[in-house]
Structure 1
Amino acid sequence: MKKHLYKITFLFLVSLAAGSCSDFLEVVPQDQILESQTYSSEAGVQNVHNGLYLQLSSRSLYGQQLTMDAVEILAQQYNISGTHYQASMATYAYAEKTPKATLSGIWEKAYTTILSSNKFLESIDEHAGVISVEKANLLKGEAIAIRAMLHFDMLRLFGPIYKVAPGDPSVPYYDKPVTTSNPILPAKEVVAKVLADLDLSLSLLTKDPILTVGKYAASSAFDGNPYYAANRGQRMNYLAVKCLKARVLLYSGDKVGASTVANEVIAFTKSNQFFPWTPFLEATNAANPDRTFSSENFFSLSDYTLYTKQKDLFDSSLDDFTIYAPLLSRLTAVFESNDNDYRSLPSWKIPIVGGKTQKTFFKYEDVTDKTKLFRLQIPMLKLSEMYLIAAETAPVPADGIAFLNTLRFNRGLTNLAATAVVATEVTKEYKKEFMGEGQLFFYYKRINSATIPLGSAASGNVTMGPLQYVLPLPDSEINFQ
């Protein structure tokens, strides 16, 4: 990783930047622009800051590998048979060429983006006064949260099974833009640093407009500048950071803490109408289905190449050796033979063209109305996860079932029996709720599930353990330790 650190410590990744939340700019290549020039104007600061989100949406990170590709293959979400080009990833053969290159790409892009975040934080302080303290705090809060999120996901991928070995070596943590490699830390130390960063982020985001006007509406705050005061749902906002904190606490085994934070978020949504459950008619609309339940998402990543990726991975014209699609029997089992589930019919259909007889994935297919606010968005942190965390951590089983029933009702399902086992039902909901979003493998690893359903067969399981759950560190990291 060291060679990547040297490339961008002095001259920041300005060429990746964009001029606003949604309008991308062509900028001068990074080797032709000095940092002092970049940070001499508010527009320049915004460009660099928005560049962090462009990096998050890259194919190596949440634009593909950490949402709909590698981590979903590891969770056995698709039928990846022995003849499929991703067979080595699906069999956890991490030392083979394709998985090794993919995992190295994830690692290097994650830590490059972390370095970019740290360089932004350093530079915005060095050029204080270009923007107001209030605006700077908002941008710094987001950058710190991005840093925390990336470290946490590298821990979830490459770190030990936390439930079993929290003291085992995991990943390095970078909170400054250094050019030397930091040491590999025990997993519990990484978690502590992630949580400290999240608390720092929250302290900087206390004036986030999302708390007063929601994620889309423009606010008069920050001089009404739309970069700060509007479209907060496409940023690491205050509520998104809260959700991430609940996720981290649960992963670390702190059920009480996770429950407290998740319930705080749920209580906030009940006190206003900013994050309503997505109605059936919107989720299943024939021409413009809101398959990602956008009204419920606290943070969705904008990806302007999303529909290209949909075609590259899931299009019905792809042959069986390259398409990412499940066996119909496995998909039917996940949804318990219930097409009334809002998550089933809009996102999984037998395509009209392409000659496929099994259902293929349409979650990220474009819609007819190009003005829809939910277009080009990948869910990152959302309301349903808070209900699942609240259910799993509820001290009384009846309360856990009540949280699950709320989620189920808003997905078109009937209430569970009072005798239902909360842990079993939570697992079922994770399988349904996060398809194409990259959370199921991490769920399995968190609970240390001994087996998971095999994606390439109509029945049977894969035995899971450290060899499957703990991904090897890339050579680029090992060689500099």
Structure 2
Amino acid sequence: MNITKLIIGISILFSLTGCNDWLTVTPKDSLDEDQLFATGAGYRNALHGIYKNMASNAMYGKEMTWGTLDVLGQVYYAYYLPDSYESMSNYKYEDENAKTLIDGMWSKTYNAIANSNNLLSRIGSEDPSKFSGGEMEKNTIEGEALALRALLHFDMLRLFAPAKEESNTTYIPYFEKYPSTYEPNLSISEFMEKVIRDLEKAKTLVAPTDTVSERRDRLNSKNRFTMGTIDGNIEHNVTDLFEAYRGFRINYYAINGVLARAYAFIGKYEEAFNITEEIITAVDNTKQRLFSFTPNADVEENPKTFLDLLFGLSNEKLADNYTAEYNATGKLYVDHYTITFDDNADYRNTKLLTKSGTKYFSTKYLPSSINSITSHICAKLIPMVRLSEMYYIRAEYYASINDFSNAIKEMDIVRDGRECTKGRLDDIIKDEKSFRKELIKEAQREFIGEGQVFFYFKKFNQPIYSSMKESDFTLPLPDSETIL
């Protein structure tokens, strides 16, 4: 596996070395790393660098959300796609364009994992006095790095392994050491044990930062994506930027959200359900819910509907990058419009899509016409974990015990939040098959531009097109990175 070199500068820059010099770590490289981690501020910068990498175009800034992943999920009309996506849209993974995209996602993700492991290999032995926030800050940095390591590995598994485990089969490695050039491929169950272990430890480390009463309000809808004034009390103002913007970091509730996703992935629906309870009932010091659905009246200003967003990344060029695609010859027109968007009251239809001729385009990533703090947040915000997913996970739990009445109720909480017509699911969902069909349709409405639609089809082994093969859901390992 490629080893990352950390270089000190105005920002932390991360670059992959070539395969032939994996093991070349010069005294200069070691000195740079020692200098970086000599102070608590250096640990902050290293953590920030991981988030910055994750927000790059090769990862969640494009390809692992509204780019390649949504192409794989057939969110867009294949006929109108840019040429670079034609192979991926047709699941021709051996074509050069597809190989380039796959290699970029793989290498950048394992690069970010290596950076997480480098930080984790050092922070455990550090004295809390090195950090301006003491032990709480040290634990927060360690917990976030652990959670990111788990999230990144989990997404690689979801891409490069099948949804259903095959006996005596291993897929990809889980890297826990730095430096490390080799780890054995693991089975899905072995791999997921490590994902869940890291997330469980991470949430314990991060919990005091986000759940103690004097800090809880930093995660409410007014504050988690801004610097914020806590409780309107000037004495509670956030004066340290590292303690602000908790929505742009994998905070305690976001870790729980990923953990619920992980438990649902392996079929432990009751465990997943129990975790979601803490998220959906979380309140600030005024007893207002931390996470709620954005009202229809605010959607034009807030097309990312971030009131229900547990965690997102930040890319200052995001709106510009998406606008360039919007204006390009190859278009990201939304497919399945007539079938999926069948409710004219649903603001995901009326407010988050725009018509271009006879086709529809998602406006989620386009700049808002309203100039405000909220619209500026939206312009750079990359959605990662939503409240709506927690309700879908709860619905999956009820469906797993054949309680479709309560499954509908959980789905309707999201639909009510999006102002859908009431009662539409009551006569539709009657069994597991109809439940899965409607849940996938909900995901198609809810997660446009967020890279999750493909995974909903995959985990239910539901072909997106009749000609699609089950093997199309699993990406091949890049040639240059195949681990033997």
TM-score bin, normalised by smaller chain: 0.7 to 0.9
Alpha carbons of structure 1 residues 377 and 84: separation in structure 2 relative to 1, 3 Å:
closer
Q: Say yes or no: does 1:318 pair with 2:328.
A: yes
In 1, the alpha carbon distance for the partners of 2:277 and 2:196 equals 18
The corresponding residue for 1:276 is: 292
Output the amino acid matched with 1:418: D
For residues 264-312 of structure 1, what are the alpha-carbon distances to aligned partners after superposition, in whole Å with 9 as ceiling and x for unaligned?
A: 32232596322121111001x3xx2x11111111101111110122123
For residues 328-358 of structure 1, what are the alpha-carbon distances to aligned partners after superposition, in whole Å with 9 as ceiling and x for unaligned?
A: xx2122111x23211122221125xxxx542
In 1, the alpha carbon distance for the partners of 2:365 and 2:351 equals 10
After superposing the two structures, state which structure 1 stretch, 404-413 or 231-240, moved more.
Answer: 404-413
User: Which of 136, 154, 157 in structure 2 is aligned with 1:155?
Assistant: 157
Q: Say yes or no: does 1:348 pair with 2:353.
A: yes
For residues 345-386 of structure 1, what are the alpha-carbon distances to aligned partners after superposition, in whole Å with 9 as ceiling and x for unaligned?
A: 2221125xxxx5422222111123152243311111011000
Output the amino acid matched with 1:311: T
For residues 419-455 of structure 1, what are the alpha-carbon distances to aligned partners after superposition, in whole Å with 9 as ceiling and x for unaligned?
A: 4313332122111000010001111111111x214xx
For residues 239-278 of structure 1, what are the alpha-carbon distances to aligned partners after superposition, in whole Å with 9 as ceiling and x for unaligned?
A: 0000001111111111111121123322325963221211
In 2, the alpha carbon distance for the partners of 1:119 and 1:374 equals 32
In 2, the alpha carbon distance for the partners of 1:464 and 1:218 equals 52
**Structure 2 SS opposite 1:359:** strand
The corresponding residue for 2:478 is: 474
Identify, as 1 or 2, the structure richer in helix. Answer: 2
Say whether the 8 Å CA contact 1:39–1:127 is kept in structure 2. Answer: no
TM normalised by structure 2 equals 0.85
Pairwise CA distance, 1:37: 2.3
The corresponding residue for 1:428 is: 441
Pairwise CA distance, 1:32: 11
Say whether the 8 Å CA contact 1:166–1:187 is kept in structure 2. Answer: no
Pairwise CA distance, 1:17: 3.1
Say whether the 8 Å CA contact 2:293–2:417 is kept in structure 1. Answer: yes
The corresponding residue for 2:35 is: 37
The corresponding residue for 2:115 is: 116
Alignment of 1:181-200 (within 5 A): 181-200=182-201
User: Which of 450, 457, 476 in structure 2 is aligned with 1:444?
Assistant: 457
Output the amino acid matched with 2:194: K
Output the amino acid matched with 1:159: A
In 2, the alpha carbon distance for the partners of 1:249 and 1:32 equals 39
In 1, the alpha carbon distance for the partners of 2:290 and 2:158 equals 31
Aligned positions, number: 439
User: Which of 302, 308, 316 in structure 2 is aligned with 1:304?
Assistant: 316
The corresponding residue for 1:254 is: 268
Q: Say yes or no: does 1:17 pair with 2:12.
A: yes
Alignment of 1:5-404 (within 5 A): 5=3, 7-8=4-5, 11=6, 16-17=11-12, 34-81=32-79, 84-85=82-83, 86-128=85-127, 129-131=129-131, 132-162=134-164, 164-165=165-166, 168-209=169-210, 212-215=216-219, 216=223, 217=228, 224-268=238-282, 272-283=288-299, 285=300, 288=301, 290-313=302-325, 315=326, 317-319=327-329, 322-327=330-335, 330-336=336-342, 338-351=343-356, 356-367=357-368, 368-372=370-374, 373-394=377-398, 395=401, 396-404=403-411
For residues 384-430 of structure 1, what are the alpha-carbon distances to aligned partners after superposition, in whole Å with 9 as ceiling and x for unaligned?
A: 00011111211422111111111111111122353431333212211
Say whether the 8 Å CA contact 2:199–2:259 is kept in structure 1. Answer: yes
After superposing the two structures, state which structure 1 stretch, 36-45 or 153-162, moved more.
Answer: 36-45
Say whether the 8 Å CA contact 1:222–1:228 is kept in structure 2. Answer: no
In 1, the alpha carbon distance for the partners of 2:425 and 2:56 equals 43
Say whether the 8 Å CA contact 2:447–2:453 is kept in structure 1. Answer: yes
In 2, the alpha carbon distance for the partners of 1:12 and 1:116 equals 12
For residues 138-178 of structure 1, what are the alpha-carbon distances to aligned partners after superposition, in whole Å with 9 as ceiling and x for unaligned?
A: 1111111000000000000001222x527531210011112
In 1, the alpha carbon distance for the partners of 2:76 and 2:320 equals 19
Pairwise CA distance, 1:463: 2.4
Unmatched segments (≥5 aa) in structure 2? 14-27, 430-434
Pairwise CA distance, 1:325: 1.3
In 2, the alpha carbon distance for the partners of 1:377 and 1:473 equals 30
Q: RMSD between aligned alpha carbons?
A: 2.5
Alpha carbons of structure 1 residues 388 and 442: separation in structure 2 relative to 1, 3 Å:
same
In 2, the alpha carbon distance for the partners of 1:297 and 1:342 equals 17
Say whether the 8 Å CA contact 1:222–1:229 is kept in structure 2. Answer: no
Say whether the 8 Å CA contact 2:280–2:291 is kept in structure 1. Answer: no
Alpha carbons of structure 1 residues 87 and 159: separation in structure 2 relative to 1, 3 Å:
same
User: Which of 413, 417, 431 in structure 2 is aligned with 1:410?
Assistant: 417
Say whether the 8 Å CA contact 1:269–1:276 is kept in structure 2. Answer: no
Unmatched segments (≥5 aa) in structure 1? 19-29, 454-460
**Structure 1 SS opposite 2:209:** coil
**Structure 2 SS opposite 1:278:** coil
TM normalised by structure 1 equals 0.85
In 2, the alpha carbon distance for the partners of 1:175 and 1:12 equals 22
Output the amino acid matched with 2:253: L
In 1, the alpha carbon distance for the partners of 2:61 and 2:235 equals 30
In 1, the alpha carbon distance for the partners of 2:88 and 2:10 equals 32
In 1, the alpha carbon distance for the partners of 2:397 and 2:283 equals 19
In 2, the alpha carbon distance for the partners of 1:232 and 1:462 equals 44
Alpha carbons of structure 1 residues 136 and 235: separation in structure 2 relative to 1, 3 Å:
same
After superposing the two structures, state which structure 1 stretch, 174-183 or 106-115, moved more.
Answer: 174-183
Say whether the 8 Å CA contact 1:350–1:359 is kept in structure 2. Answer: yes
Say whether the 8 Å CA contact 1:206–1:238 is kept in structure 2. Answer: yes
